[in-house]
């Protein structure tokens, strides 16, 4: 494909990898971000997020002089908007960054340009938000300015591989727009690229994540039921999934990240009277931090200890540095509101609530250690030493991640979320009786 000048707005977890990918495939890329720290890092061939091999790709892109950072957009052939679309406190899409990004490029778009919204958005955003702004350019949309939506479908920790290998959806405001956008992404996408209209593409993105969120809600509800009737949810899930047409997801302390914890609300916002299952699933998953806190209350009872809780991991998933919508951050807040002293340790995340400087500091004199995130680094902990540091000698595994026998040999009494067979109720009372 002929070399294009591409302006990528937003240098976060999606925008920066996308910009670097286009740059290393021969295009001239301007990476735009309002955060000067991010732009300065990029221009020094450094990154401010954690993603395997992204630093190498960015170094190659900057060294080739195909990628440069700016705080303002400029004229280009293609504009890709990859800014955040967070959720408000009342569970509505906050579209201010999309609006600001769209408005910022209006002075620079020219006849023949392409504008792509990559940011995950409520269905109808391109039609109702983006297009009216772009019309201010005076260009005829679909004929002089080609517009559409092409959502990413990548997994943090595998973003670079999946940007290339995954199938992709391109939705255009007309067929010509979709085809022109497809030609751009064919630069590096090896998977199939499927064409549709822009609103269908938007719905596909949010529904893909909603499907997973609803399935996790089913697993979390199952975990609550299993605890009530005294069986192990993990065994139930394992055996159910032996069925050739069953795939129950794993339960846990809740659902986080910018996608699964947010996207379903975009559907609920647009269809509040119809999206009842989706809303209930979101509420179920959002209830899990409080459910975990209730379980901690039940295990510790009326303790005379300091009621310090050590939490391992605060990111929304394993082996990433992203804490957006993390259920563990919510758990920390709930525990704090109940009077617990919380100390959290995470080898990936930085600057979070109740952050301890070390694992030892977090665990020292704690009544309970809670495994919140299944980081691989946590399997390398010396659990005998960890147990020695604690007072309560209780380990609560929210991910069914640790080796229970190893923890018990180290001296812990072990509880696994969703396992109603676990016998660590009223631990503090038992210890007092001893």
Q: What is the spatial order of strands in the sheet that 67-70 belongs to?
A: 67-70, 28-32, 5-9, 78-81, 113-117, 145-149, 168-172, 193-197
φ/ψ of residue 82, rounded to 5: -130, 50
φ/ψ of residue 103, rounded to 5: -65, -35
Residues 413 and 310: their CA atoms lie apart, in Å, by: 15
Contact between 35 and 72 (Cβ < 8 Å): no
Distances (CA, A) of 204 to 106, 146, 208, 289, 321: 27, 21, 6, 29, 27
Q: Where are the alpha helices (DSSP H) in 338-400?
A: 359-363, 383-389
Residues 355 and 361: their CA atoms lie apart, in Å, by: 10
Residues 56 and 160: their CA atoms lie apart, in Å, by: 11
Which of 7, 259, 354, 387 is the catalytic position? 259
Which of 205, 317, 393, 413 is the catalytic position? 205
**Residue 205 annotated among the catalytic residues of the structure:** yes
**Bridge partners of residue 194, in order along the sequence:** 169
Contact between 120 and 205 (Cβ < 8 Å): yes
What single-letter DSSP state applies at residue 325?
A: T
> Element (H or E) spanning 397, and its range?
strand 394-397
Residues 80 and 14: their CA atoms lie apart, in Å, by: 11
| Coil/strand/helix, residue 355 | strand
Residues 422 and 419: their CA atoms lie apart, in Å, by: 6
Catalytic positions, written as ranges: 205, 259
């Amino acid at each position: 494909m002929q070399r294009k000048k591409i302006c990528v707005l937003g240098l976060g977890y999606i925008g920066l990898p996308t910009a670097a990918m286009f740059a290393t495939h021969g295009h001239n890329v301007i990476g735009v971000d309002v955060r000067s720290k991010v732009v300065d890092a990029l221009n020094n061939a450094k990154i401010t997020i954690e993603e395997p091999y992204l630093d190498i790709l960015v170094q190659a892109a900057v060294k080739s002089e195909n990628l440069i950072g700016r705080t303002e957009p400029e004229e280009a052939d293609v504009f890709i908007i990859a800014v955040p679309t967070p959720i408000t406190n009342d569970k509505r899409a906050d579209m201010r960054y999309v609006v600001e990004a769209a408005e910022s490029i209006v002075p620079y778009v020219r006849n023949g340009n392409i504008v792509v919204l990559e940011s995950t958005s409520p269905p109808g955003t391109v039609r109702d938000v983006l297009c009216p702004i772009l019309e201010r350019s005076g260009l005829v949309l679909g004929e002089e300015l080609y517009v559409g939506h092409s959502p990413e479908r990548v997994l943090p920790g595998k973003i670079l591989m999946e940007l290339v290998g995954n199938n992709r959806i391109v939705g255009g405001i007309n067929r010509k727009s979709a085809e022109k956008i497809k030609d751009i992404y064919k630069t590096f996408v090896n998977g199939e690229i499927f064409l549709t209209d822009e609103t269908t593409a938007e719905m596909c993105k949010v529904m893909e994540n909603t499907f997973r969120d609803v399935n996790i809600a089913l697993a979390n509800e199952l975990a609550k039921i299993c605890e009530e009737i005294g069986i192990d949810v993990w065994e139930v899930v394992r055996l159910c999934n032996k069925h050739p047409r069953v795939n129950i997801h794993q339960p846990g302390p809740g659902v986080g990240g910018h996608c699964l914890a947010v996207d379903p609300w975009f559907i609920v916002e647009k269809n509040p009277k119809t999206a009842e299952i989706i809303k209930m699933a979101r509420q179920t998953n959002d209830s899990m931090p409080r459910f975990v806190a209730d379980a901690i209350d039940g295990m510790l009872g009326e303790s005379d200890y300091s009621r310090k809780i050590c939490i391992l991991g605060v990111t929304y998933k394993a082996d990433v540095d992203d804490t957006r919508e993390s259920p563990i951050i919510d758990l920390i807040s709930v525990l704090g509101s109940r009077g617990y002293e919380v100390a959290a340790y995470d080898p990936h995340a930085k600057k979070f609530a109740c952050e301890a400087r070390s694992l030892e500091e977090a665990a020292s004199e704690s009544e309970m250690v809670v495994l919140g995130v299944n980081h691989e680094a946590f399997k390398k902990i010396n659990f005998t030493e960890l147990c020695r540091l604690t007072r309560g000698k209780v380990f609560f595994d929210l991910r069914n991640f640790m080796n229970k026998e190893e923890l018990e040999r180290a001296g812990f009494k072990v509880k696994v979320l969703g396992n109603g067979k676990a016998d660590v109720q009223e631990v503090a009372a038992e210890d007092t009786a001893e």
